[in-house]
């Protein structure tokens, strides 16, 4: 019998000083996933759970079928008995503590469809529902029968959006016996995808996101392939075309399941978000999952790329609970909407320009202060570029004001005009941020101004694809047909009665959704990440994200307060004198 070594010892590792026992609960929105299982982990319930988790939600599951599959195809399918599915759904619905916020529906079976119908009817529109009509896998394998297809179509009436691919869309139209497109051979250009999406949306009275990833198009002689995903919103009849470069990779297994789960997660977290914005965020996530996957035939995408690389600090702030409310108040502000629909009175806009000039001077001072808080040559050179851009913008403001308000513009400055309450409070807060002596806090106070104007203008114009999204690695945007020479027409073609004002308003909106400003947001995102990394290395520990969220949220409210003040301003004569 072996004896213990005389040199053996007992080691006690005390982690009590590292591991806090204080409760710090985080609210997670809940997504119920009803779908089949993929034992290879790339699609189905397995992909759904990874997607829901990475996107900050809590996943519940009801597995409709078990599949034996791998990269070569689906080899067997075993359906879950109907009574088992019924019991699972009953348990999940009756548990009030689970509080379902969204339902994602994937592969359904003959036994599961009526049970899902009963569940959705009972929920009575209180939760968001995303249905991915899984009938054709990326490998080309078909699931289900024509009866199950028709039964699934009957569920569309409960859905906030359905997400079929091209082949599934054709199957749906053929089942309905409507539409001009009968086969894949009838599609030869992106416009046909729009027709396909519109036909399904109209005949089923449903919002539809048609996934075009299976059929990229070459537009120019350079051979570049583009993918078109088409969102058709039934009630508004709006069509949003999401165009992106095709990624030449074999690892696309699970893209459909992942996209629909990401949409469900984003809807669960932000019930008031507009559908185009939710879809854009979700398409971006899937795009990056493909880019970061190991390229192999019918391989799986990389759902957890952001956990490996780490979400950047700006993304984390925008998703922070403290930031969401102030951020949405800011970027959805009435002031910008009224510029776009041309109903903003000119004297209110002029007041904004005068006060914005005074604010920009403070913004300039804050960047000068920022130089005192870093020794990084790269950051210092970037600040110099930003200062030059601010000075150019100040010059443009003076040029505009000197035409009508000659009395207040003297020697390249505004005289006899005091900052309003909003700008004064804003300036005081920026000064406080500098006085903390912390470079990261200081630059955090500047980020909402940069990013928010881009998002507010893209939201007002219903062009979500022109809103810069952190962590995408994308530093430019594709051109948009409605924007010409930086000018954006008014909402629904509305024009201001004064041609000069029309051009001023159109240019103002156009600047903030232009390619050059998008690049500024990209650069600002990169620089902000460097400040964050420097702070991490200096303190040798993670930065307190809650404190940064407080700063970011406060500045979002200050921005919104500024626009509130501009809307309330009603003394036209005061500006003239």
pLDDT at 410: 59
Mean pLDDT of the chain: 86
Furthest CA-CA distance within the chain = 104
Instruction: Determine, yes or no, domain membership for 233.
Output: no
pLDDT band (50, 70, 90) for residue 399:
confident
Mean pLDDT of 323-351: 93
Instruction: Read off the CATH number of the domain in which 117 is found.
Output: 3.40.1190.20
Listed residues 304, 338, 371: the one ending a domain: 304
**Separation between Cα atoms, residue 559 and residue 329, nearest integer Å:** 9
> Could you identify the residue written with the tokens 């005068």?
354
CB 155 within 8 A of CB 149: no
Instruction: Determine, yes or no, domain membership for 514.
Output: yes
pLDDT at 486: 65
Most confident of 241-255, 266-280, 465-479, 499-513: 241-255
Are residues 77 and 202 both part of a single domain? yes
Instruction: Read off the CATH number of the domain in which 467 is found.
Output: 1.20.910.10
Closest to 394 in 3D by CA, of 362, 427, 346, 431: 362
Closest to 431 in 3D by CA, of 353, 531, 359, 376: 359
Report the range of poorest mean pLDDT among 144-153, 235-244, 472-481, 553-562. Answer: 472-481
pLDDT band (50, 70, 90) for residue 298:
confident
Mean pLDDT of 350-355: 89
pLDDT at 534: 78
Closest to 285 in 3D by CA, of 50, 51, 41: 51
Instruction: Determine, yes or no, domain membership for 143.
Output: yes
Whether 572 has a pLDDT exceeding 70, the answer reads no
**Separation between Cα atoms, residue 39 and residue 85, nearest integer Å:** 19
Are residues 379 and 279 both part of a single domain? no
- What domain range includes position 493? 325-576
CA distances from 94 to 81, 119, 278 (A): 20, 11, 29
Instruction: Give per-residue burial for 162-178: e unless 16+ CB within 10 Å, then b.
Output: bbbbbbbbbbbbeeeee
Whether 67 has a pLDDT exceeding 60, the answer reads yes
Are residues 289 and 401 both part of a single domain? no
pLDDT band (50, 70, 90) for residue 51:
very high
pLDDT at 290: 93
Return the higher-pLDDT residue of 34 and 306: 34
Are residues 343 and 402 both part of a single domain? yes
**Separation between Cα atoms, residue 158 and residue 126, nearest integer Å:** 10
For residue 35, give the 3-state DSSP assignment: strand
Are residues 341 and 202 both part of a single domain? no
Number of domains within the chain: 2
Are residues 300 and 374 both part of a single domain? no
**Confidence (pTM):** 0.67
Residue 92, H or E segment: helix 82-94
β-strands 100-105, 29-38 pairing? parallel
Task: Return the percentage of the chain with pLDDT > 70, whole number.
Answer: 87
Are residues 372 and 477 both part of a single domain? yes
pLDDT at 396: 81
pLDDT at 12: 81
Whether 91 has a pLDDT exceeding 70, the answer reads yes
Instruction: Determine, yes or no, domain membership for 240.
Output: no
Instruction: Determine, yes or no, domain membership for 572.
Output: yes
> Could you identify the residue written with the tokens 């990874």?
50
Q: Where are the alpha helices (DSSP H) in 219-320?
A: 255-269, 275-291, 305-309, 313-318
Instruction: Determine, yes or no, domain membership for 401.
Output: yes
pLDDT band (50, 70, 90) for residue 377:
confident
Mean pLDDT of 55-71: 93
**Separation between Cα atoms, residue 447 and residue 541, nearest integer Å:** 23
Are residues 286 and 400 both part of a single domain? no
Instruction: Determine, yes or no, domain membership for 7.
Output: no
CB 126 within 8 A of CB 96: no
Instruction: Determine, yes or no, domain membership for 283.
Output: yes
pLDDT at 577: 45
Return the higher-pLDDT residue of 375 and 147: 375
Whether 142 has a pLDDT exceeding 80, the answer reads no
Closest to 498 in 3D by CA, of 404, 406, 392, 358: 404
pLDDT band (50, 70, 90) for residue 436:
very high
Mean pLDDT of 177-193: 90
Residue 153, H or E segment: helix 146-153
Are residues 147 and 255 both part of a single domain? yes
Are residues 457 and 403 both part of a single domain? yes
Are residues 74 and 135 both part of a single domain? yes
**Separation between Cα atoms, residue 44 and residue 254, nearest integer Å:** 7
Report the range of poorest mean pLDDT among 104-108, 182-186, 189-193, 376-380. Answer: 376-380
Are residues 342 and 299 both part of a single domain? no
Residue 161, H or E segment: strand 161-162
Instruction: Give per-residue burial for 179-212: e unless 16+ CB within 10 Å, then b.
Output: bebeeeeebeebebbbbbbbbbbebbebbbbbbb
Report the range of poorest mean pLDDT among 29-33, 56-60, 355-359. Answer: 355-359
**Separation between Cα atoms, residue 269 and residue 29, nearest integer Å:** 6
pLDDT band (50, 70, 90) for residue 408:
low
pLDDT tens digit sequence for 239-287? 999 999 999 999 999 999 999 999 999 999 876 678 998 898 899 889 9
């Amino acid at each position: 019998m072996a004896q213990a070594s005389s040199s053996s010892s007992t080691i006690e590792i005390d982690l009590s000083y590292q591991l806090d026992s204080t409760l710090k609960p985080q609210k997670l929105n809940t997504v119920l996933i009803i779908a089949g299982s993929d034992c290879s982990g790339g699609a189905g319930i397995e992909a759904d759970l990874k997607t829901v988790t990475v996107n900050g939600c809590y996943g519940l599951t009801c597995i409709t079928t078990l599949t034996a599959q791998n990269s070569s195809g689906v080899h067997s399918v075993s359906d879950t008995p109907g009574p088992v599915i019924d019991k699972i759904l009953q348990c999940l619905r009756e548990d009030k503590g689970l509080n379902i916020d969204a339902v994602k529906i994937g592969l359904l079976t003959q036994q599961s469809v009526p049970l899902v119908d009963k569940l959705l009817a009972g929920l009575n529109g209180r939760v968001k529902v995303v249905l991915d009509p899984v009938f054709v896998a990326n490998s080309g394998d078909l699931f289900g029968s024509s009866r199950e297809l028709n039964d699934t179509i009957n569920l569309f009436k409960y859905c906030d959006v359905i997400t079929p691919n091209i082949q599934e869309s054709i199957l749906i139209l053929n089942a309905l016996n409507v539409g001009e497109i009968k086969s894949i051979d009838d599609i030869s250009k992106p416009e046909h995808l729009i027709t396909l999406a519109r036909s399904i949306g109209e005949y089923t009275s449903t919002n539809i996101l048609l996934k075009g990833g299976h059929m990229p198009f070459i537009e120019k002689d350079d051979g570049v392939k583009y993918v078109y995903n088409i969102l058709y919103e039934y009630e508004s009849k709006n069509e949003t075309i999401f165009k992106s470069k095709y990624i030449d990779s074999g690892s696309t297994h699970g893209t459909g399941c992942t996209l629909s789960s990401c949409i469900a997660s984003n809807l669960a977290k932000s019930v008031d978000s507009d559908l185009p914005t939710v879809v854009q965020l979700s398409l971006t996530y899937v795009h990056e999952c493909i880019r970061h996957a190991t390229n192999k035939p019918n391989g799986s995408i990389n759902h957890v790329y952001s956990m490996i690389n780490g979400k950047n600090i700006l993304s984390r702030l925008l998703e922070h609970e403290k930031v969401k409310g102030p951020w949405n108040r800011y970027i959805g502000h009435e002031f910008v909407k009224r510029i776009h629909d041309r109903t903003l009175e000119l004297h209110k806009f002029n007041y904004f320009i005068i006060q914005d000039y005074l604010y920009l001077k403070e913004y300039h001072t804050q960047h000068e202060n920022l130089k005192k808080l870093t020794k990084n040559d790269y950051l210092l050179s970037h600040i110099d570029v930003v200062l030059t851009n601010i000075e150019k913008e100040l010059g443009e403001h003076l040029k505009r004001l000197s035409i009508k308000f000659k009395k207040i513009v003297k020697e390249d400055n505004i005289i006899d005009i005091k900052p309003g309450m909003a700008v004064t409070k804003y300036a005081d807060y920026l000064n406080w941020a500098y006085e903390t002596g912390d470079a990261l806090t200081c630059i955090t106070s500047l980020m909402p101004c940069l990013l928010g104007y881009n998002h507010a203008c893209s939201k007002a114009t219903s062009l979500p694809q022109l809103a810069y999204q952190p962590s995408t690695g994308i530093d430019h945007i594709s051109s948009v047909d409605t924007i010409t020479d930086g000018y954006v027409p008014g909402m629904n073609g509305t024009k201001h009665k004064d041609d000069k004002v029309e051009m001023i308003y159109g240019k103002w909106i156009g600047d903030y959704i232009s390619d050059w400003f998008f690049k500024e947001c990209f650069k600002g995102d990169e620089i902000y990440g460097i400040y964050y990394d420097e702070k991490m290395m200096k303190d040798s520990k993670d930065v307190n994200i809650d404190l940064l969220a407080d700063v970011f949220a406060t500045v979002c409210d200050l921005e919104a307060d500024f626009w509130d003040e501009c809307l309330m301003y009603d003394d036209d004569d005061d500006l003239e004198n």
